[in-house]
């Protein structure tokens, strides 16, 4: 009987302890750093708006035809310590890749050139404007990424993507939370 009571007590303690661990997930306030994506560790997920994927076609060094692809995520922030700009708030994080691989990682990419990706922005709500840029080397594979962040402030932002060589720029509007 004592063994049975001991086993029941151990089972009850294990269940209650497990429930306590599950029920006490961390909480975060709007002033705490956030991450892009979701988390269950108590770190706050940023409020976000996606720009989708956009391509800019360009002529690179010499007679090289190239293509850069950009995907952007606008967020409220402040960002966590692992971000491109830790502590940044009300910004757009732009992820840049270059080229195109028609058969995935089995062949080298095509449409790769040494270029500098330039992102001009204008916040229609605050009147602020600016530009950020990042060099994208030709040897960057289509599965590798370069990140640049434009700290625009909250509001409606017009973002123009271009390069430092002759190109076909792309302009889009995004709402920064």
Q: Is residue 103 in a domain?
A: yes
Q: How many domains does the chain have?
A: 1
Q: Is residue 11 in a domain?
A: no
pLDDT of residue 100: 80
Q: What's the CATH number where 45 sits?
A: 2.60.40
- pTM: predicted TM-score of the whole model, two decimal places: 0.77
What is the DSSP annotation of 78-103? -B-TTSSSTT--SEEEEEEEESB-TT
How does the average pLDDT of the chain come out, rounded? 81
pLDDT band at 99 (very low <50, low <70, confident <90, very high): confident
Separation CA 99–CA 140 (nearest Å): 8
Domain that holds residue 110: 34-176
For residue range 35-82, list pLDDT tens digits in order. Answer: 777 665 667 788 888 988 899 999 987 788 999 999 999 998 888 888
């Amino acid at each position: 009987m004592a063994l049975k009571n001991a086993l029941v007590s151990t089972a009850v303690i294990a269940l209650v302890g497990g429930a306590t661990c599950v029920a006490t997930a961390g909480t975060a306030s709007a002033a705490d750093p956030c991450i892009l994506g979701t988390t269950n560790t108590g770190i706050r997920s940023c409020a976000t708006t996606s720009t989708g994927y956009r391509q800019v076609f360009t002529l690179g060094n010499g007679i090289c035809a190239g293509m850069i692809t950009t995907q952007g995520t606008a967020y409220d922030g402040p960002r966590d310590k692992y971000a491109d700009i830790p502590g940044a708030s009300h910004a757009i994080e732009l992820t840049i890749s270059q080229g195109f691989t028609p058969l995935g990682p089995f062949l080298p990419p095509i449409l790769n050139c040494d270029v500098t990706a330039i992102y001009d922005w204008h916040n229609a709500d605050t009147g602020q404007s600016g530009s950020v840029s990042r060099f994208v080397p030709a040897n960057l594979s289509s599965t590798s990424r370069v990140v640049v962040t434009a700290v625009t402030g909250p509001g409606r932002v017009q973002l123009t993507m271009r390069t430092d060589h002759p190109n076909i720029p792309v302009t889009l509007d995004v709402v920064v939370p």
